[in-house]
Amino acid sequence: MSKFITFEGVDGAGKSTHLAWFAEALRQRGLDVVVTREPGGTPLGEQLREILLHQPMSIGTETLLMFAARLEHVEQVIKPALGAGKWVISDRFSDASFAYQGGGRGMDWDKLRQLEQWVHPDLQPDLTLFFDVPVEVARKRLRMSDRAGTNNTSLDRFEQEQSDFFERVRAGYHKRVQQNPHRYVVIDAAQSLETVKDKLQEVISAI
Ligand code: TMP
């Protein structure tokens, strides 16, 4: 039986490192796993990602491009893979639009709901792992990462935002979790890598 699992969190929460390990652990159990990401996941989506991460634009344009890339991703990758019985793990999905465009940038929550309804009316993740971490911890990790270490200009448009932006993003995620708690596992990502891995192992056993 296929499952659609998403990984979410503010930049620097460490979700991408854990995603690779999680996918491998599922494969070792004999599952056919597709790993993908947003924005991106299709050739067009990856082009939109480049634009989204590096070109200045209005909040509305940013929101619409995120959902345009998502529509392509849902139709070209996610639904076909689930239809073929595969497990799909996506590094971000619509929760990120609510958190970043809604929480971070102040885009109207109802407009985001309308876009969500339009783009994937009959699809939601079966499970979302939300890597929750205090913003100052995430900022520190981002600064210490290789990409950010030498020169701040290698950070993308989102990563260059200030702490107050990420506080609003984090609050946006919390609001989403509160609105639909049964879909999420909230992971305290400030803990050590080993402790987070143990938690992921528990999640895998449960599903
Ligand atoms: P990544 O660094 O996790 O790959 O994500 C790229 C950036 O895109 C990240 O800073 C969050 C942002 N983003 C949004 O603002 N809205 C969205 O809907 C998605 C999917 C990502």
| pLDDT tens profile 9-31 | 999 999 999 999 999 999 999 99
The dihedral over CA atoms of 21, 122, 130, 32, expressed in degrees to the nearest 10, equals -10
* Domain extent for 19: 4-206
Question: What letter would DSSP give residue 86?
Answer: -
- Whether the pTM exceeds 0.85: the reply is yes
Q: How many CB atoms lie within 10 A of CB 110?
A: 9
Q: How many domains does the chain have?
A: 1
Phi, psi of 71 (to 5 degrees): -60, -45
User: Which of 100, 141, 142, 166 best tests ligand 1's pocket when mutated (most atoms within 8 Å of CB)?
Assistant: 100
The token pair at 66 is 């995120």
Q: How many CB atoms lie within 10 A of CB 106?
A: 11
Judged against a pLDDT cut of 70, whether residue 1 lies above it is answered with: yes
In this prediction, residue 145 carries a pLDDT of 77
Phi, psi of 103 (to 5 degrees): -70, -55
Q: What is the 203 CA–ligand 1 centroid distance (Å)?
A: 24
Q: What is the 23 CA–ligand 1 centroid distance (Å)?
A: 20
Alpha-carbon dihedral sign for residues 206, 12, 74, 173: positive
CB of 147 within 8 A of CB of 16? no
In this prediction, residue 148 carries a pLDDT of 46
Judged against a pLDDT cut of 80, whether residue 156 lies above it is answered with: yes
In 3D, which of 174, 201, 200 has the Cα closest to residue 189? Answer: 200
Choice between 24 and 148, residue whose per-residue pLDDT is larger:
24
- The CATH number of residue 136's host domain is 3.40.50.300
Residue nearest to atom 6 of ligand 1 (CA): 39
Ligand 1 atom with least separation from CA of 39: 20
The tens digit of pLDDT for each residue in 158-202 reads: 999 999 999 999 999 999 999 999 999 999 999 999 999 999 999
Residues with CB under 6 A from ligand 1: 11, 37-39, 66, 91-92, 96-97, 100-101, 158
Residue nearest to atom 18 of ligand 1 (CA): 97
User: What average pLDDT is seen over the chain?
Assistant: 95
In terms of C-beta density within 10 A (0-12 exposed, 13-18 middle, 19 or more buried), how is residue 184 classed?
A: buried
What is d(CA 1, CA 20) in angstroms, rounded to the nearest whole number? 21
Q: What is the 202 CA–ligand 1 centroid distance (Å)?
A: 27
